[in-house]
Amino acid sequence: MALRAQLKLILMADEVVIAETDDPQVWQAAFQAIQGDASTLSRKDEPEIEWVPEEERVAIRAFAKEIRVEVADLMSACHPRPIPPYIFLSKHHWEAFKRNTPERGRNAVSNAVLALTLLLLWAEKARIERITVRDGYAVLRAISARDEHASRAIENCPWLQTGMGRVQINPEYISKATAVGRAFCLKQAPVTDETDEESE
């Protein structure tokens, strides 16, 4: 009796399983792409997201456009997905961002603020209705990071708003939020427009 092996495609970020499927169409497309068959790629400049559903690709492109980075940079930095914890941060990008920002002072960005900023920017594009502080903690736990002063840091962050058990981006400071997201993806220090100061 001939035995048929069941093939399964598993996507991992470090040791974290991000997605898996035994759909033959998905793993066949992935196999052909790995073998260099460019005909499986509808957008040759975005092979990083060709395997995801179209609606998700649209959201990822919109996220990348808002923070002004390439899709490849976005995917390697935080790998946004529509399933919890929604983003999967790269430890290499994390290390670079923390090295380029001060631990304290005006330009400091705490662990929780960084996680929530990226999470909220993605949530808007992916139409994830409700993001809480606990969701930010889940993002941090995935890379074994913590923030013992998260509540105070979030409260003092001008571009984050809390209320009714959820966290949101303050639209008056969206440029600061997107600057942080861009800096993380490019392993740079955040550069923001001080429009809030100029308007005072």
Query: Residue 60's closest CA among 36, 43, 38, 40?
Result: 43
Q: What pLDDT score does 37 carry? A: 45
Q: What pLDDT score does 104 carry? A: 84
Q: What pLDDT score does 7 carry? A: 72
Tokens of 171: 């639209």
pTM of the model: 0.73
> Residue 55: phi, psi to the nearest 5?
-60, -40
Q: What pLDDT score does 40 carry? A: 40
Q: What pLDDT score does 25 carry? A: 65
Tokens of 95: 């290390």
Q: Are 111 and 89 in contact (CB under 8 A)?
A: no
Q: How far apart are CA 145 and CA 10, in angstroms?
A: 25
3-state secondary structure of 62: helix
Domain residue spans of the chain: 11-26+47-193
Q: What pLDDT score does 44 carry? A: 46
Q: What pLDDT score does 34 carry? A: 63
Q: What pLDDT score does 28 carry? A: 64
Query: Residue 158's closest CA among 171, 147, 145?
Result: 171
- pLDDT mean values, one per 10 residues, the chain (200 residues): 63 75 68 51 62 92 97 96 95 96 87 98 96 96 94 95 94 96 95 45
